[in-house]
Amino acid sequence: MNSRYCLRWLAGIGCYITFGVGGLLSSLTILPLLKYWPGSPDVRIKRVQKAVHLMFRGMVQLLTLAKVVKVDAHCASQLQQAESLVVIANHPTLIDVVVLISLMPNAGCIVKQGLWRNPFLRGVVSAAGYIPNRSAELLLEDCQQVLRRGTNLIVFPEGTRTQKGAVINDFARGAANIALRCAAPLLPVVLKVHNAGLTKQDPWYAIPRRTIEMQVSTGEIFHASTLEDDVIHAKQARQLTRDLEFYYRQRLHEHYELT
């Protein structure tokens, strides 16, 4: 490990520690204050989401200073102004959700049950109104409630980070089902990465030797229609999932062919 990489590694680990400690402290101080300050439940949650957005933006800035990542988001204004959208994205790195929430002041997401037991992040996900990944019926009810209050819902159709060497993992039907069942517009966000790092195969502490250059771009909004017939809905969800997966494979193949 040369001295230059050693400094980068220490800076990257310092970012993680700052993020973890900051999450714990904020969940004990500022986030409960914002959550219980007078106002309607929707206003309280939006205040917390804005605070989390600022925290995540600070985290991205720290990672940028540490030369772990460099984010290029020409679509930032569109993401800042978005409301009540199902925002789907591919999932190449560990920090994808941090990058997306840093660009969106009113974003929610579906989080695995383990994060609700994590002492560093439990207070954050709870106060921000994020959705636990539980049974399908309860999950859809939660998604409808989130979208109705104007919050954008971030979903990764791959379910986990992209396997190293693959363009994307096969898509699950969750995002299509949410968009169709909730009759919510769907916005595809493509994350293109140069100098891959923090992948599924990399442990969290494996700070990449070269700066991860991430380009964030958006596609056209797709307007899904609600359907009462479960059989037709299932077919449409499968077709929409195939169409979305083809769209991402095409966009990312073009990217890898040029790099």
| Segment 178-219, tens digit of pLDDT | 999 888 999 999 999 998 899 988 988 899 999 999 999 999
| CA distance linking residue 114 with residue 123, whole number of Å | 13
Nearest residue to 108 (alpha-carbon basis) of 89, 78, 92, 86: 86
Q: Which two tokens stand for residue 239?
A: 């077709």
Question: pTM surpassing 0.85?
Answer: yes
* Other residues' Cβ atoms within 10 Å of the Cβ of residue 133: 16
Q: What is the largest CA-CA distance in the chain?
A: 62
Nearest residue to 15 (alpha-carbon basis) of 204, 213, 214: 204
Please return the burial class of 178, using the count of CB atoms within 10 Å of its CB with bins 0-12, 13-18 and 19+: buried
* Res 126: pLDDT: 76
Q: What does the pLDDT look like over 88-109, one tens digit per residue?
A: 999 999 999 999 999 999 999 8
